[in-house]
Amino acid sequence: MAQTQHLGEFEQIVLLAILRLADGAYGVSIRQEIRDRTGRNTVPGALYTTLDRLEQKGLVASRLGEPTPERGGRAKRYYDVTAAGLMAVERAQRSYQSLLQGLQILGKKHA
Domains of the chain: 9-109 (1.10.10.10)
What pTM, to 2 d.p., does this model score?
Answer: 0.86
d(CA 80, CA 83): 10
- Mapped to the 3 state alphabet, what secondary structure does the chain carry? CCCCCCCCHHHHHHHHHHHHHHHHCEHHHHHHHHHHHHCCCCCHHHHHHHHHHHHHCCCEEEEEEEECHHHCCCEEEEEEECHHHHHHHHHHHHHHHHHHCCCEECCEECC
For the stretch 25-83, pLDDT in tens is 999 999 999 999 999 999 999 999 999 999 999 999 999 988 777 767 788 999 999 99
d(CA 71, CA 64): 13
For the stretch 75-104, pLDDT in tens is 899 999 999 999 999 999 999 888 888 888
